[in-house]
A = this chain, B = another copy of it.
Amino acid sequence: MTRFGKFLDKTLQDLAYEPIWNVICESDIDPHDIDIAFVGNAYAGMITGQESIRGQVVLREAGISKIPIINVENACASGSTAFYLAHRAVASGQVELALAVGVEKLFCDDTGKSLKALATSSDQEIEGKMGILFAGIYAMRVRSHMEKYGLTREQLAKVAVKNHDHGALNPHAQYRNRVTVEEVLESRMIADPITLLMTCPLGDGGAALLVGTKEMAKRMGKRPIRVGSTVLGSFGFTRKDEPSIVARVSKKAYQEAGVTPREIQVAEVHDAVAPVELFLYEELGFCGPGESGRMIDERTTWLGGRLPVNTSGGLTSKGHPAGATGIAQLAEIVWQMRGEAGDRQINPAPHVGLVENGGGNVAGETAVVALHILLA
């Protein structure tokens, strides 16, 4: 992956070129061995004007042609959707090697345009007409959880502190500064109780992964990581007494991979605002309902804890170039499993890792959730 950040001088093509050629060179393959490519991007149409054939343009620049190229969009889960399809193409036996790319350019000369693009990941007929933005939707979910289980503002802030601590160790992170609980709570209020330092920044970036058959993976230069499961789910008009979309999708992923939540040793989750990470602990089964506050207090999910979460810095600190995020989350787990995570390496290297990547809003629910379990 590229470092995430603000790169006004880089095009969408530039942002994709670097990770595509990094992964090709690192894997020691001939680029002609790639059978199919899936390119995840959410907003380039509105930011760069290349509404259509984004992946073809990006791969033309990278010198990749002739093979099937498929443009995939699923809001902030576009990258992991590209990976889902790449994995499916290989697992079906129809191809031996698939390339999954996630790329996003959000910074441009007009921040209003960037924010407008992000808002199109809500249903224009429902959220759009109400004028409610992501921060507002997240704030309502956080408040409801605080009232139900007594989560404190300090606990919410601690997630941001942890992810900034982790991001400070990650050369790919957009923000590499540490913050304190006080600084997080005293930063500008965005949508009560979410403050500025709890939110992820706008970002530009790209990431790429190769998915191959067992035989293909053995030929590559790097230790291959096995895909235990890759599951995608959608909003479901969920009633209060039904499991959330994340709980529903993760249950399926655990079954498919044949592991239990307690076996997960490292996870990257979609902390578009830091407090959401707490419900994710509960919905992913890392702890019981209402126990996530204690989990962050006890530093269980900090580097050095039993189950480090968002060792990359998460969206909050590493940054969130929407279409790139899912692939970048997977990259972090791969690096951790291979013992290549540098200053933020978990010791010993984990054997079971999870990625949760969410995107969009439909009728008050997250539109898309992608769950991936990787096995060493």
A241 to chain B, nearest CB (A): 16
A339 part of interface (Cβ distance < 8 Å): no
Would you call B72 and A71 a contact (CB within 8 A)?
Answer: yes
Residues of B within 8 A of A69 (CB): 74, 234, 368
Given A65-B234, A70-B81, A360-B56: A49 touches B91 (CB 8 Å cut-off)? no
| CA–CA, A358 and B50, complex, Å | 18
User: Which range contains the number of A residues in contact with the other chain?
Assistant: 35 or more
Considering the complex, give the chain B residue whose CB is closest to the CB of A94: B88
Which interface residue of A13, A71, A91, A117 has the most chain B CB atoms within 10 A? A71
Would you call A60 and B91 a contact (CB within 8 A)?
Answer: no
Would you call A57 and B88 a contact (CB within 8 A)?
Answer: no
Query: Mask for A70-83, Cβ within 8 A of B = 1, else 0?
Result: 11111100000100
| CA–CA, A86 and B296, complex, Å | 42
Q: How many copies of this chain does one complex carry? A: 2
Residues of B within 8 A of A360 (CB): 52-53, 56
Residues of B within 8 A of A248 (CB): 66
Query: Mask for A341-376, Cβ within 8 A of B = 1, else 0?
Result: 000000000000000000110110001100000000
A68 part of interface (Cβ distance < 8 Å): yes
Would you call B66 and A236 a contact (CB within 8 A)?
Answer: yes
Considering the complex, give the chain B residue whose CB is closest to the CB of A90: B92
A261 part of interface (Cβ distance < 8 Å): no
Would you call B49 and A120 a contact (CB within 8 A)?
Answer: yes
| CA–CA, A130 and B72, complex, Å | 27
A48 part of interface (Cβ distance < 8 Å): yes
Would you call A51 and B120 a contact (CB within 8 A)?
Answer: yes
Considering the complex, give the chain B residue whose CB is closest to the CB of A59: B234
New A-B pairs, 12, CB < 8 Å, besides A45-B120, A52-B73: A13-B125, A45-B45, A52-B75, A52-B360, A53-B360, A59-B234, A60-B123, A69-B234, A73-B73, A88-B88, A88-B94, A92-B92
Given A88-B94, A89-B88, A92-B94: A367 touches B235 (CB 8 Å cut-off)? no
Residues of B within 8 A of A111 (CB): none
